Structure 1
């Protein structure tokens, strides 16, 4: 099912790597993955703006939501109807903020498949031979740590984990939700570190770029929202 998207991604990443080779040299393919991910996130910008708008609406409606929860605590079906009617009257959705995350998943899977597939469109996958410094882009940390925790390939992954942790910490501190959902939202960004240990380095670079984009995007949109409110 992902064969066609993987072929398209291979052509785009390969083409970007060829274009970047004169200036990036051996890091051209890694940089191409970063550029490819940024291009995807740029196309998703309208969804992010809509999600930010929906999040502001949900915060504004929270007092009314809490009143409904208290009023219909013993009637879950009535509560769902009243909640749906409230959000519909405001033209909002309680799950709108999750849409960008769901849309990102197929692109992550495509990047994952691209760097675990020996062949793409019936041809040898030459991207698997490319590296970032000493680490193969098609290898994961579990596969290289056997050569030593401080071996050059492992150090590349440890650097990636450090950057992912920094982005996760930044994102976690900017979560405004309270209660159990807020706690989950604060922990979720750190999950990328665990995922990055088991997926190819290329997919880890995709996670890092996408996570950094999300952090910057939210900071900018929140600042604009505060400015507009003032």
Structure 2
């Protein structure tokens, strides 16, 4: 099903198409064939800048949840045999502190449709009944509507194209690795890996998030999650790959700044 042709969504895609083409036309005298790529990067920056207040709220929420971790552990010990009571007490604690376990989800929820729209704009030859001129634009000589997986499947991958896609994928992975290293969960100095594993095992009925994060297996999984975006970039159009690289880079810089502004409390050993 072509979502761009549905009555309820055709105007949205057509509006996004008009915005991108308008920005590309404005930038064309200065950037030539890469004007559409620059327009995508510019829109990404505008979207992320608009989400700065929610990012601040997210960091404050993380700070509050980290501060509440010792109280959460006490509740989990007290009500470990009564999951329903534990859930009520935890939600009440969040409510009393003016935070939520789901605080900070808005940036991800907002960005999902944005990257979805960009993805759709560069895979459909027609938008709302007219030709999609965005597909004529390129970045470093590579069409913005092409994908690394698609080029490989079609047998049309060339070395220049591979270098462009490879550069973006490697750059996204590099940002993910820096993010993993900078924001690796801290383990209390007196808590070792075996103790963390025992803490997780003891709380099967009411898992302890703080103890779970100390598990070597969980830490390794959290590190791998940083590279999912790089894998995703192999399958989406080049235009969406540019969006992903821009947004993960913005996220890293923003998190570093907010971490300094709203530092996390040191973890307390169980």
The answer to whether TM tops 0.5 is yes
Q: For 1:129 and 1:219, locate their aligned partners in 2 and report how far apart those are by CA, in whole Å.
A: 38
Q: For 1:84 and 1:6, locate their aligned partners in 2 and report how far apart those are by CA, in whole Å.
A: 40
Which ranges of structure 2 fall in alignment gaps of 5 or more residues?
A: 1-7, 186-212, 265-270
Deviations 1:52-99 (A, max 9, x none): 110110110011111111221111111100000000000100111222
Q: Of 69, 75, 78, which residue of structure 2 is paired with 1:71?
A: 78
- Of 67-76 and 199-208, the range deviating more from structure 2: 67-76
Q: Of 220, 236, 240, which residue of structure 2 is paired with 1:203?
A: 240
User: Is the 8 Å Cα contact of residues 13 and 33 (structure 1) preserved in structure 2?
Assistant: yes
- Of 188-197 and 4-13, the range deviating more from structure 2: 4-13
User: Is the 8 Å Cα contact of residues 175 and 182 (structure 1) preserved in structure 2?
Assistant: no
Determine the structure 1 residue equivalent to 2:112: 105
Determine the structure 2 residue equivalent to 1:168: 176
Determine the structure 1 residue equivalent to 2:14: 7
Q: For 1:182 and 1:22, locate their aligned partners in 2 and report how far apart those are by CA, in whole Å.
A: 48
- RMSD over aligned CA atoms reads 1.8
Q: For 1:179 and 1:59, locate their aligned partners in 2 and report how far apart those are by CA, in whole Å.
A: 14
Q: Of 96, 107, 110, which residue of structure 2 is paired with 1:89?
A: 96
Q: For 2:19 and 2:169, locate their aligned partners in 1 and report how far apart those are by CA, in whole Å.
A: 26
TM-score by length of 2: 0.79
Q: For 1:176 and 1:95, locate their aligned partners in 2 and report how far apart those are by CA, in whole Å.
A: 20
The structural deviation recorded for 1:170 is 1.6
Q: Name the structure, 1 or 2, with higher relative contact order (CA <8 Å, separation 6+).
A: 2
Number of residue pairs the alignment of both structures matches: 226
In the superposition, relative to structure 1, how do residues 46 and 185 fare at CA in structure 2: closer, same or farther (>3 Å)?
Answer: farther
Which ranges of structure 1 fall in alignment gaps of 5 or more residues?
A: none
Helix, strand or coil at the partner of 2:101: coil
- Of 95-104 and 205-214, the range deviating more from structure 2: 95-104
Helix, strand or coil at the partner of 2:104: helix
Deviations 1:9-37 (A, max 9, x none): 21111111111112211211111110011
Q: For 1:51 and 1:226, locate their aligned partners in 2 and report how far apart those are by CA, in whole Å.
A: 13
Determine the structure 1 residue equivalent to 2:214: 179
Q: For 2:184 and 2:167, locate their aligned partners in 1 and report how far apart those are by CA, in whole Å.
A: 29
Q: Does 1:147 align with 2:147?
A: no
Q: For 1:54 and 1:185, locate their aligned partners in 2 and report how far apart those are by CA, in whole Å.
A: 20
Q: For 2:108 and 2:227, locate their aligned partners in 1 and report how far apart those are by CA, in whole Å.
A: 15
